[in-house]
Structure 1
Amino acid sequence: MSGIYRVAERAMGMNGATWARHANPWSVYTRFTMLPLLALAIWSRVWVGGWAWAGLLAVMIWVWVNPRAFPPPASLDNWASRGVLGERVFLKRPDEVAAHHRHWAALLSAASLPGALIMAVGLWRLDAVWTVFGTILMMVPKIWFVDRMNWVYADWLRQTGKELGNV
């Protein structure tokens, strides 16, 4: 499963500077807009027809721009920043991450799949209840994943005494 995370990291073009900017809480919290915006872009086919592709493209651009859109945070002492730092440790130093964290990360990633299916059916049928429910079912495990990455970072700091610059 960790290979999937690394492929996503490479596809996003994440490097040290981008990760530092992504640690800004504004980057983390605005990232949670992506699934609702994706659903809206797909749903908009009803209102704008083929122009819905422009909305979809805008969402995909936002996915790429978001980790670069904000400056590095003045402080890393907050839930969102620590979640990003934990994800960075999880990706760069997986052998230093406890097995139970790796296990839960895989479970939480897989847990969003039923939500994706429900959201897809809702978007196909233009059923708002299914679409919203599926979106929520996808977002909850992602938020929980960020919380788990806080735990990863806290454990890693206790074990190594290193800071982000040494990750």
Structure 2
Amino acid sequence: MTLEKQIAKIFKLDGESWMKHTNPWSIWTRFATLPFIILAVWSRIWIGWYCLIPIAILIIWIIINPTLFKKPKSIENWGAKAVLGERYWAERKTVSVPKHHSTPILILTILQTVGGIILMIGLWKLEINLTIIGAIMAYMSKMWFLDRMVWIFREMKTNTQQHK
């Protein structure tokens, strides 16, 4: 089982819930959560251990968000195609995804991870520069990653239609 498939299980992404997650409200409200997480962690200097309350709420939000919204009427938008591309990528052990995506996705995953680590160090040390650099790096590489998922979705959709 791929790491992405395991992560999908945590977020209860299977079958119909993938389609619910293609709802733009699901995609963009979840995507917009990072600044609130940063603020919640940073708030420890103002509210001490009470910062764990907004942090816990935000973690719960991230976990339940993909299943909260209704299946959209249309998937003809960038975000929905990115989610469906992620689904193909997560299930690549059972449905083959073109190999030319592997290296760019690995690089983007590494960049997201490095950005996340820099962000966490910045939050731990309360270093605003590291926090901002890490957040920007994580967000930019995530957007590029999602754009690659759109590419995968389009290729897989075309390949599926050609084999019918």
The two structures have a TM-score, normalised by structure 2, of: 0.90
Which position in structure 1 is the counterpart of 2:158? Answer: 158
Which position in structure 2 is the counterpart of 1:51? Answer: 50
- Describe the SS at the equivalent of 1:149: helix
- Describe the SS at the equivalent of 2:2: helix
**Aligned 1:1-167 pairs, distance under 5 A:** 3-94=2-93, 95-161=95-161
Tell me the distance in 2 between the aligned counterparts of 1:137 and 1:113.
9
Listed one character per residue, the Cα deviations across residues 113-161 of structure 1 (whole Å, up to 9, x for unaligned) are 2212221221122122221221111111111111111100111111111
5+ residue gaps, structure 1, are 163-167
State, as a whole percentage, how many aligned pairs show the same letter.
34
CA RMSD of aligned residues (A): 1.6
Listed one character per residue, the Cα deviations across residues 90-128 of structure 1 (whole Å, up to 9, x for unaligned) are 122444211111222222111112212221221122122
- Work out the number of aligned pairs and report it: 161
Indicate conservation of the 8 Å contact 1:115/1:134, yes or no: yes
Aligned structure 1 segments of 4 or more residues deviating by more than 6 angstroms: none
- Describe the SS at the equivalent of 2:74: coil
Indicate conservation of the 8 Å contact 1:96/1:156, yes or no: no
Single out whichever of 148-157 and 24-33 deviates more from structure 2: 24-33
Single out whichever of 87-96 and 67-76 deviates more from structure 2: 87-96
Tell me the distance in 2 between the aligned counterparts of 1:121 and 1:93.
33
Tell me the distance in 1 between the aligned counterparts of 2:70 and 2:132.
32
In structure 2, give the amino acid aligned to 1:23: T
Which position in structure 2 is the counterpart of 1:165? Answer: none
